Amino acid sequence: MRIDPSELAPDPGATHAKKRVGRGNSSGHGTYSGKGMKGQKSRSGRSVGLHFEGGQAPLSRKLATLRGFNNKWRTEYQPVNLSALDRFEAGSTITPELLRDVGVVKHLRNPVKVLGEGEITKAFNVQAHRFSEVAKAKIEAAGGSVVALTPPKVKEEKAAS
C-alpha cells in the first residue's frame, strides 16, 4: 500500500490554533495581551536588543576599557635548563625528540629554548630552536656544540625615505 504525502495529517494534538491576543477580556488575552502593565517591553515596535543591559554600559563596550594586551603572534617556547641536560652521556647529541622521550619537555608543538640555569660538566652536541647567550657560552666552554634548528625571525628594516 502506497501513501500519498499530500494525504498525511499531523498527529492529534500536534498543531494548535494561533493565540489571538487583544480580542477582548472574555478571551482571556485582552487589555494587555499577555504583556503585563506598562514598561519598555510592553510597548509596540522594536523590542530591546540582545545585548541591552537596561542602560548600564553593555559588556561589549566595557571589555574595550579593560587593561592588558594579548599578542597573538607570540611564540611560546618550552624552557630547558642546562641542569636538565647533565643527565645525558658525554658526546651525545641532544635533540628536542630525545628531550621529549626522556620527559624533559612535554610535547613538540612548541619550540624548545635552552636556558643557562645550572652547570654542565660534559660536552654535548645540543640541537634546539633557541639558546640563551649564557647557555651557549657554557655549552661551548664545556667543549660541546650548539645547533639552532630554525633561525630566529629577523624584522625587516624599514627603508629610509
State which fold the 78-148 domain adopts.
Answer: Ribosomal Protein L15; Chain: K; domain 2 (3.100.10)
What predicted TM-score, i.e. pTM, was given to this entire model? 0.54
| Domain locations in the chain as residue ranges | 78-148
26-46 pLDDT, tens per residue?
999 999 998 889 888 888 887
Assign 159 a pLDDT band (cuts: 50, 70, 90).
low
Q: What percent of the chain has pLDDT over 70?
A: 93
Question: What does the DSSP assignment read for the chain?
Answer: ----GGG--PPTTS--PPP--SS-GGGTS-TTTTS-SSSGGGSSS----TT--TTSPPHHHHGGGS-----TTPPPPEEEEHHHHTTSPTTPEE-HHHHHHHTSSS-SSS-EEEE--S---S--EEEESEE-HHHHHHHHHTT-EEEESSPPP-PPPPPP-
